[in-house]
Amino acid sequence: MKPWTGARCASCGLPMASDQMTESGAGEASRLGGPARCTQCRLGEYEFDWARSYGVYAGSLRAAILQLKFHRRQRLGRRLGIALAAAWAEEVLDREIAESEAAVLVPVPLHPSRQRGRGFNQAEELGRGLARALIHKSGQAPRLETRCLRRVRATPPQSGLALRARHENVRGVFEVRSAEPLRDRLVVLVDDVMTTGATASACAKALKRAGARQVAVLTLARATPQFPDIGIPSSHLPVDDSPRERQ
């Protein structure tokens, strides 16, 4: 299980091949001294400020996430939080974020019916692992808030939906229960996988309405969605030798 070390979109963290960055126009900004960004970010379609993932959703990392979600490996989730801590530390350095900044960790919530069926929320387990890893590293950790954001409507799975349909599917789905812990704070959304960013963007919109100063997204893996101008060619991905995800 290795982190992605290639080129990324400077805003959403999408892994991109260097040739794709040039084809999409993202490379032009880099040549001019600015950050390279993917098509979605250049179009300004995200509500969050930036995102980072530990690695690409393939191979052993994908297999570990499927074990966590569908085989009730909650302790694995907490261990995988260590990888999230590595991704966070990289962003702290890249963005010159003060390590002492009062950030709040908010796991992306499941709908209560989905959480009852699964028995737990994998994003919460990752958040707990992340918080423990950070406190071990620095002696202090961002506060983990598991109840301030909720999903108020059950929705069909995002998989299989077209890009616009994914955004419509989660529009107005999230709301903030308690705004006080979020006001004027850096809020870090935690989840297992980010694909198009539609879910994270919907969460970020609700969090900013509640007073969050900035919303970042930290995920264990970034899937490379098969939509025009998004993702990287399959030839650049590691071989996927993991079991198929349950429908």
- Up-side HSE of residue 148: CA atoms within 13 Å toward CB? 24
What is the predicted pLDDT for the residue at 46?
87
Residue with tokens 């600015």: 34
Q: For the chain, which residues make up each domain, given as ranges?
A: 45-236
- Top pLDDT among 136 and 207 is at 207
| Of 123, 3, 130, 124, the residue nearest 58 (C-alpha) | 3
**Model pLDDT, residue 28:** 39
pLDDT in tens, 46-88: 899 999 999 889 899 999 999 998 888 888 988 898 888 888 8
Q: What is the mean pLDDT of residues 186-198?
A: 93
Q: Can you tell me the distance from the alpha carbon of 84 to that of 127, in angstroms, rounded to the nearest whole number?
A: 9
Residue 39 is encoded by which pair of tokens?
């098509």
pTM: 0.79
Helix, strand, coil percentages, rounded to 5, for the chain:
40, 15, 45
Name, in order, each residue with C-beta under 8 angstroms of 226's C-beta and a sequence gap of 6 or more: none
How long, in residues, is the chain? 247
pLDDT for position 240: 34
Q: What is the pLDDT of residues 130-159, one digit of tens each?
A: 998 887 666 666 789 999 999 999 998 887
pLDDT at residue 2, as a whole number: 62
Q: Does domain 45-236 have CATH number 3.40.50?
A: yes
Helices (H) and strands (E) in the chain, counts: 9, 7
